Structure formats: structure tokens, C-alpha cells
Amino acid sequence: NAGVTQTPKFRVLKTGQSMTLLCAQDMNHEYMYWYRQDPGMGLRLIHYSVGEGTTAKGEVPDGYNVSRLKKQNFLLGLESAAPSQTSVYFCASSYSLADYEQYFGPGTRLTVT
Amino acid sequence: GESVGLHLPTLSVQEGDNSIINCAYSNSASDYFIWYKQESGKGPQFIIDIRSNMDKRQGQRVTVLLNKTVKHLSLQIAATQPGDSAVYFCAENQAGTALIFGKGTTLSVSS
């Protein structure tokens, strides 16, 4: 049982490039989330999904897109990377939206130059 | 929007002391609260949770206290160990919404 995994672990992009971060979970959770973590800012929710084929915006969705084609995977896309998107990105999953703990992946450190 | 905040960004304690990490929340409608621990280079890990119909909940070496009157949440760690050094986040949740995280408190434990 691997829990929540993220690929890649590190990435450096040039401004304007695109990329996709992959999150996978093997716990059969319905809910999945993407957060970004910046120094002194805590975790901020980008997008989340309440089930296969559904997504919703979080606190800071601009500049990102997501897809949930399979229950176990949640993809985060950056179409045109900007230096302001330099951050550590965490994926999480949970059994339910409320009242249940979220399980986090190890994170992806993204630098946009 | 609503936010969860922590009183102090850093806390330094001696090994063996008890640690208290505080968190203030602003949304009186929040009904579920969680504490997470994040070690350097890792994702947050669940420590303990508490529902709004409770005042106190205990785990192994940890206790969470909830004071709804003043909208205050605290995490107490007994006999703090060097392995407890990490960033601690509180998070709040209303039924049907996603978790909102505070900014975190860095706990440093010296031997």
C-alpha cells in the first residue's frame, strides 16, 4: 500500500513552459486535492475533486487546470508557467470531504525561472 | 474568506518539556479541526482531530483542546522529544467544504 505518490519530485521550468504533475492514490479515496505551499503561507488549496470526472476550484485556482479521469489519479497542469508558481506542490486524498483526515503525498518542488 | 491562524510562528523547547502550540480560528461554523505535523522535506501527517461537540481529545503523548467560546484550538505535546521537531499546522473544516490550513508553527526541540 503506497498511499499517495507524486511525480516528479523536482522540476525546473522556464517561464511559459507547460507541465503536468501526477498524483496517484491506492486507498480507493473519492476525494483528492492539490495544494501549494509557500514559505510562511501554509497550505493553500488549488483545486480538488469529489470523484472521478469532477473537479472544483479551491482558494488559488488561477493558472492551473486539473483532471480526474480515473479515480486513483489526479493531474495538475500548468499551461504557461510563471515565476509566481514556484512552490512546493502537495497532493492529498481522503475518504470524505469533511470529517476525515487527508493523506498527503511527499510533494513536488517546482522552480520557474 | 475565513482563515485559521496560529499565535506564534516558532516555538523552542527543551527535550522533556511539555509543548503547547496554539491556533485561533475565525469561523464559528467550523465543526471539525485537525492538527498536522510536517517534517522537513515531507508531506503533512495527521496527528489528531477533534469535532466541535468535544472540548478535549487525547492521543499518544498529544492532547487537543478546543475552546469554542473564544475560537481557540491548542495542541499539547507531553515530554517533547527531538523527533517532535517539525512544523505543526491546524486546519478547520465545515461540513461540505474543504480543509482550511493555518500558516504553521515551527517547533524546535533542543537536547
**Per-chain mean pLDDT for chain A:** 94
Angstrom distance (rounded) from CA B16 to CA A25: 37
- Is the pLDDT assigned to residue A22 strictly greater than 80? yes
Test mutation, B88, B99, B106, chain A, max A CBs within 10 A: B99
| Chain B residues touching A107 at Cβ < 8 A | 41-43
Test mutation, A27, A37, A41, A43, chain B, max B CBs within 10 A: A43
From the CB of residue B5, how many other CB atoms can be counted at a distance below 10 Å? Answer: 13
A101 in reach of chain B (CB within 8 A): yes
Contact B46 A59 (CB under 8 A): no
Confidence of residue A112 (pLDDT cuts 50, 70, 90): very high
Angstrom distance (rounded) from CA A7 to CA B48: 28
Residue A53 gets the label, from left (phi > 0), alpha (psi -120 to 50) or beta, of left
pLDDT reported for residue A109? 97
Position with higher pLDDT, B56 vs B3: B56
Residue A99 gets the label, from left (phi > 0), alpha (psi -120 to 50) or beta, of left
Residue B4 CA: distances (Å) to CA of A107, B48, B82, B102: 22, 17, 27, 5
pLDDT reported for residue B1? 30
Residues A94, A102 contacting (CB under 8 angstroms): yes
User: Residues A16-25: what's their mean pLDDT?
Assistant: 98
A94-109 tens-digit pLDDT: 987 766 788 999 999 9
- Is the pLDDT assigned to residue B27 strictly greater than 90? no
**Per-chain mean pLDDT for chain B:** 90
Residues 49-78 on B with a CB inside 8 Å of A are: 49, 51
A43-74 tens-digit pLDDT: 999 999 999 999 999 999 999 999 999 999 99
pLDDT reported for residue B95? 65
B40-85 tens-digit pLDDT: 999 999 999 999 999 999 999 999 999 999 999 999 999 999 999 9
Confidence of residue B4 (pLDDT cuts 50, 70, 90): low
Angstrom distance (rounded) from CA A98 to CA A84: 30
Rounded to the nearest angstrom, the minimum Cα separation between B32 and chain A is 6
